[in-house]
Amino acid sequence: MRRSKKKPVEPKPYSPFREFLKDFKKNRLAVLGAIVVFSLFVMAFTAWFLGELGIYIPYDPNETDVTAKLRPPSLGHPLGTDQLGRDVLSRMLHGARISLLVGFVAVGISVTVGILVGSIAGYFGGWIDNLLMRVVDAVISFPSFFLILTVVALLKPSFWNVMVVIGLTGWTGTARFVRAEFLSLKEREFVQAAHALGVKSPRVIFLHLLPNAFMPVLVSATLGVAGAILTEAGLSFLGFGVQPPQPTWGNILTEGRLYIFDAWWLTLFPGLAILVTVLSFNLVGEGLRDALDPRARYG
């Protein structure tokens, strides 16, 4: 009886995305951070979506009950209540949406400005590069948090002002990353070939150079989200961020500091939320850096 010959298994074609996932999953801390970040997104979106429908889990974050004020964590209120009897868990779930939204919108603004400044400086060089880099040096020379604090203090504290101010003061790192990549990439053969074919500068910048320089920008943006969330929490803690009754982790901390010895849960749980979120974004950023940059993996 003739045995049937097994067909040789064809190797899978090379996929950069598959290789990226393979390298990223090797970093268990980065995977853990990604799971935490994804869980935060799910909880924040769910709380917001149900709130728009008039459904609150477990309670309305702004509903007060003075008969239940400053109650410690229990089955009815897993994270306790605040000085007005509002459920801390509900306020933190709705505050997560604000904190995440501030982080991502602010980073979106800073990345956009940083890419524009860095690409123009790195591509054209000369006096344009010198002028733009001196602007970058001038912005960096100011302590960023105090610069943000000053601008926000002059403006009316609001949700949108906080996002815009954080975004417009955090673009310098991205600009330097992009400029450094452009200075290296613009001397490569494919760029010279594009110039020889008569391709105009904007097309060279956005279609040829920027995609090859986007890796450090992605890592910087991930780390920047953590920094923006921390900055927003600091501003809200000082009273210059998103204003009550709209809950954020920062203003929950602010209200809780007056009762720190009588109601420890008002500062412990928001503080842990900020710590875990910032740490998770930093772990994801480090994992992205290791997975996307071979120099980081092999020294």
Instruction: Give per-residue pLDDT as tens, 162-218.
Output: 888 888 888 888 899 889 888 888 888 888 888 788 888 888 888 888 888 877 788
Note the CATH architecture for domain 103-298.
Orthogonal Bundle (1.10)
Q: Tell me: the pLDDT tens digits for 108-158? A: 999 999 999 999 998 888 899 999 999 998 888 887 778 777 877 787 777
Cβ neighbours, 10 Å, residue 149: 17
Pairwise CA distance, residues 148 & 168, whole Å:
9
**Secondary structure tally for the chain: helices H, strands E:** 13, 0
Against a cut of 0.85, is the pTM above it?
A: no
Give the model's pLDDT for residue 2. 54
Task: List, as own/partner pairs, every contact residues 185-189 make where C-beta atoms lie below 8 angstroms and the sequence separation is at least 24, other chains included.
Answer: 185/209, 185/212, 185/213, 186/122, 186/123
Give the model's pLDDT for residue 218. 84
Q: Tell me: the pLDDT tens digits for 79-121? A: 999 989 999 999 999 989 888 888 889 999 999 999 999 999 9
Give the model's pLDDT for residue 38. 94
